[in-house]
Amino acid sequence: MRAEPFFVEGVSVQTLSLKEASCRICDDVASGKSFSVFTLNLDHVVKLRTNPAFRAAYERARIVLADGFPIVLAGRLQGRRLSRTTGADLIVPLCEEAGRRGLPVFLLGSTPRSLAGAQRHLTTLISELDVAGTYAPEQGFSPFSEPADEAMEAIRNSGARLCFVALGAPKQEIFADRCAREIEGVSFLCIGAGLDFLAGHQKRAPKAFQAMGLEWLWRMLLNPGRLARRYAECLAVFPGVLLDSLSRRSERAGP
């Protein structure tokens, strides 16, 4: 059953394709709902175990998709058919659908330079897209600070219906969760480095690396000092995630 979710670290993960996810998100946005969309990876699993606010945000998310080969593998071990979908993967399909339906979008995160580049890229690619506003937070941005209140007011007053949030985990998920609860009629998708990719200021892994589930290796090669510890922590939790998935599959199979 393609639509049946699976579970990782207590989080329900949907098995929607990229096209299915884009259509479902835009359907819900068009209906006036306020909600958040996250993409789960092993780094998030590590943070879920130590950050209660992050876990609470995940529990309230309307849609969670599998970002990263380990999460996809966990789903397959639980008997699901799915492929990897990152927040960055969703940006263009969602903007195409938003443009077609007349749903304005908002871009939040990264730097003013990346925001300008991402906006220029999207509006050139999708002529009917309405980017209602952008906001580049200062360094040290906190989801419950005065600058966060200002960002929320900018989103609220912009007329946007869908906001792309690029702050990095766990800030972006916690902020998106807060916004979805406090701003009516706007939905929030967390996209990590998606704006930097669109602007060309950060290079995404080659397609071959992505297809083999090795995008993490590409990132670590580019920035070993910052990412080596993170991926060591991810590697430590990976066996437990797989064992839990095998256990769930055995329970489904029965005696």
Q: What is the pLDDT of residues 65-123, one digit of tens each?
A: 999 899 999 999 999 999 999 999 999 999 999 999 999 999 999 999 999 999 999 99
pLDDT at 218: 84
Q: What is the pLDDT of residues 179-220, one digit of tens each?
A: 999 999 999 999 999 999 999 998 888 888 887 777 887 888
Contact 132, 101 (CB under 8 A): no
Closest by alpha carbon to 241, among 89, 60, 50, 40? 40
Residue 56 reports pLDDT greater than 60: yes
The neighbouring-strand residues paired with 63 are 37
Closest by alpha carbon to 42, among 209, 238, 228, 245? 238
pLDDT at 157: 98
What band does 255 get if pLDDT is binned at 50, 70 and 90?
Answer: low
- Strands 162-166 vs 131-135: parallel, antiparallel or unpaired: unpaired
Q: Report the alpha-carbon distance of residue 34 to residue 21 in Å, rounded.
A: 16
Q: Report the alpha-carbon distance of residue 178 to residue 115 in Å, rounded.
A: 22
pLDDT at 224: 84
What band does 227 get if pLDDT is binned at 50, 70 and 90?
Answer: confident
pLDDT at 234: 94
Residue 253 reports pLDDT greater than 90: no
Half-sphere exposure of 12 (CA within 13 A, CB side): 9
Beta-carbon contacts of 91 under 8 Å, excluding residues fewer than 6 positions away, are 122, 164, 191, 194, 198
Residue 228 Cα distances to 4, 15, 86, 220, 225, angstroms: 34, 30, 21, 6, 6
pLDDT at 221: 83
What band does 3 get if pLDDT is binned at 50, 70 and 90?
Answer: low
How is the chain split into domains, by residue range?
A: 6-209
Contact 135, 106 (CB under 8 A): yes
Q: What is the pLDDT of residues 124-177, one digit of tens each?
A: 999 999 999 999 999 999 999 999 999 999 999 999 999 999 999 999 999 999
- DSSP annotation of 219 reads H
Residue 30 reports pLDDT greater than 50: yes
How many CB atoms within 10 Å of residue 52? 8
What band does 1 get if pLDDT is binned at 50, 70 and 90?
Answer: very low
